[in-house]
Amino acid sequence: MVRSLRLTAGRTTLAALLTVVAVALPSGTWLIVGGRQVEREAALEVDRVYTKAYKMGVKLASHLSARLAVLREQEARRPFYHYEAVYHDPHGASGTATVALSPLAQGPSHPYVLSYFQVDEQGRLSLPRHRDRAGGLGWEDDGEAFATLRQQLADVATFCIRGYDPSTACPAGATPAAVGEGHAERGERSLQLYVEELEASAWRRHRRASSRNGDQRPARPAHAGNGHPGGEEPKVLIVIGDLDWYTLPVGGEPNLVALRSVDTPDGTWTQGFAISRQAIGDYLRDAYYPARFLPIDPAREKRPGEIVVPVEGTAWGISLDLSSALDEVASKAAVDRRRFLQTVLFITLTAALAGVMVVALVYQSERLAAQRAQFAASAAHELRTPLAGLRLYSEMLAEGLGDPSRARQYASRLAGESERLGRVVTNVLSFTRLERRMLTVDPRPGDLGAAVREVVARNRPALEEAGAAIDLQLPDEPVTARFDRDALGHVLQNLLDNAEKYTREAADRTIRVAVEARPETAVLRVADRGPGIPPALERKLFRPFARGESQGGPEGLGLGLVLVRALVTAQGGDIRYAGAAGGGAVFTVTLPR
């Protein structure tokens, strides 16, 4: 039996190890490989966001760069005198100081231009805007919006007179917006200049026209022609530099500004225009990702999820905020990870549960195999003992051996061994029918006390010969109940046989059998004064091949109580075990009235 248990434990352990390997190895591999795949998909999704954003940024920057380049090219060809609110066209045919309205007087014609301005070398700022005041032309120096604009552009004027150098478009204090061919790191401009020649008289008429209409800058005297051959005055040279992009503060915020220098007889002026960041913001408003137009500063630390695409020709770029898109990707990746882990966990638990069931089946089959082997050995022993007695006493009677006067005793022994053999065979056959679900009973109303008296009377001689005594306690009145007489005999015979076996070492071998009538049930109680059932074995008491003692107990098949419980239950009753107060075992059978 010990060897069988060891074999069972060894096979079960092997099955458990194989199950663990079969579940853990694929699940672990799946977790590692699948987890990497989920992370790879998340990384690819992030790359897709960045790729899409970069392509969109390049498209926006390219379009904006082209529009700014066209604007710069158009403004580079604008005459210098357009920056006056009113002017006299130096190239006009009229010899009088005819006043013309600047095309810039009504405000910027391009949506990207915030304002045009002009700064002289003393830092005085003028805007080519006007309004009709009492039928005349004059500077529009009132109005809250206009005053605010002048205040904002005052920062540009401050920058454009600080450290002024005629060879530069703007002083060294300004920051060039683009560093390209012909430009240096510190804002030096290329000398791409063009010269406009004007008649001295045309220049004087122009200055008088601008002075009469609000320009208070003192005009330097032009050459009158004295001392020149033929009385001819020299030409007035206006040297105009090329427009270039600069980053200058406008209203305390960095802004993209186009500047050019204009060298005149009255001094060097700076002309240009500021770009409207609001207009460009409106252009970027419909972008898929939130976009801003800002200067590129290598020292500025990029925000998480931000990419900046340079706008060609300027030191500005389009900043795209991808934080929301990346958060969405991160949330989706977290959901994918959670679903993947839940799937792995579910499949692993399902496989583990299936593995546990397989191990349990292996254990159960091995345990049943061991129990059947034990049953076969016990049955052989149980059969061999009465067969040996039958053979011994039958040979003694057949050959006339032994004491002739004890022939009846020998015959009685033969009958007892035959009955014992019959009980073993009956138990085996009944258990076989029970496993096949073929065990049937036919309960009928009857006197339970009378049926118990018959069974006790039939078993008393054998029990008393084995050294046990029976104390039968029956009520005076009949106890009616529904039961099968054969099944009841089988039940009581097994209980009496168990009580006799387990009291062989007890000082008191009395077996008490009592019948009691209750309102709804009839009770049959069998009690002995043996060692009782250990608490650890009580829960296994009515299982096949279970024994009341783990080792050293009397021989048996371990089927008696299983059959007792099956027969009692089939009759609609119940059986319970309880330990006796002074030691021993008490089995209580209840049957319906």
More confident call, 455 vs 583: 455
- The pLDDT score that the predictor gives to residue 225 is 41
- Which residue from 461, 431, 414, 386 is spatially nearest to 543, judged by alpha carbons? 431
The C-alpha atoms of residue 83 and residue 259 are separated, in whole angstroms, by 12
Is a pLDDT exceeding 50 seen at residue 460? yes
**What is the CA angle 249-250-251, rounded to 5?**
115
Q: How confident is the model at residue 328 (pLDDT cuts 50, 70, 90)?
A: very high
Q: How confident is the model at residue 541 (pLDDT cuts 50, 70, 90)?
A: confident
- Which residue from 233, 222, 258 is spatially nearest to 74, judged by alpha carbons? 258
What distance, in Å, lies between the first and last C-alpha atoms of the chain?
Answer: 44
Q: What are phi and psi of 581, to 5 degrees?
A: -60, -45
pTM over 0.85: no
Mean pLDDT of 404-424: 70
Among the four given CATH numbers 3.30.390.50, 3.40.109.10, 3.40.50.2000, 3.30.565.10, the one describing domain 437-592: 3.30.565.10
Q: Are 501 and 554 in contact (CB under 8 A)?
A: yes
Q: In what order do the strands lie in the sheet with 291-295?
A: 291-295, 316-321, 306-310
- The pLDDT score that the predictor gives to residue 54 is 94
Q: How confident is the model at residue 68 (pLDDT cuts 50, 70, 90)?
A: very high
Q: How confident is the model at residue 1 (pLDDT cuts 50, 70, 90)?
A: very low
Range scoring the smallest mean pLDDT among 13-22, 364-373, 506-515:
364-373
Summarised one tens digit per residue, pLDDT across range 83-105 is 888 887 777 655 555 677 888 88
Q: What are phi and psi of 43, to 5 degrees?
A: -65, -40
Mean pLDDT of 280-288: 92
More confident call, 357 vs 187: 357
Mean pLDDT of 38-42: 94
Summarised one tens digit per residue, pLDDT across range 154-209 is 878 777 766 444 444 444 344 444 433 333 233 334 446 788 888 888 888 878 77
- The pLDDT score that the predictor gives to residue 113 is 93
Cα dihedral 556, 558, 562, 563 in deg (nearest 10): -30
- Which residue from 259, 270, 268 is spatially nearest to 237, judged by alpha carbons? 268
Summarised one tens digit per residue, pLDDT across range 103-126 is 888 888 899 999 999 988 888 888
- The pLDDT score that the predictor gives to residue 447 is 92
Both structure tokens of 93: 């045919």
| pLDDT > 90 in the chain, percent | 30
- The pLDDT score that the predictor gives to residue 64 is 95
Range scoring the smallest mean pLDDT among 41-55, 181-195, 336-350, 433-447:
181-195
Q: How confident is the model at residue 431 (pLDDT cuts 50, 70, 90)?
A: low
- The pLDDT score that the predictor gives to residue 435 is 61
Q: Where are the domains of the chain?
A: 437-592
Range scoring the smallest mean pLDDT among 26-35, 188-197, 198-207, 394-403:
188-197
More confident call, 218 vs 493: 493
Q: Are 533 and 552 in contact (CB under 8 A)?
A: no
Range scoring the smallest mean pLDDT among 180-184, 334-338, 469-473, 559-563:
180-184
Q: E strands of 125-220, at which residues?
A: 125-126, 130-133, 136-139, 175-176, 194-198
The C-alpha atoms of residue 216 and residue 468 are separated, in whole angstroms, by 144
What is the chain's percent helix, strand, coil content, to nearest 5?
45, 20, 35
Cα dihedral 71, 72, 77, 80 in deg (nearest 10): 110
More confident call, 283 vs 206: 283
Mean pLDDT of 225-237: 63
Q: How confident is the model at residue 226 (pLDDT cuts 50, 70, 90)?
A: very low
Give the mean pLDDT of the chain. Answer: 79
Q: How confident is the model at residue 547 (pLDDT cuts 50, 70, 90)?
A: low
| pLDDT > 70 in the chain, percent | 74
**What is the CA angle 306-309-315, rounded to 5?**
115
What count of other Cβ atoms lies within 10 Å of the Cβ of residue 47?
Answer: 11
- The pLDDT score that the predictor gives to residue 320 is 94
Q: How confident is the model at residue 551 (pLDDT cuts 50, 70, 90)?
A: very low
More confident call, 211 vs 454: 454
Q: How far is CA 21 from the centre of its chain?
A: 27
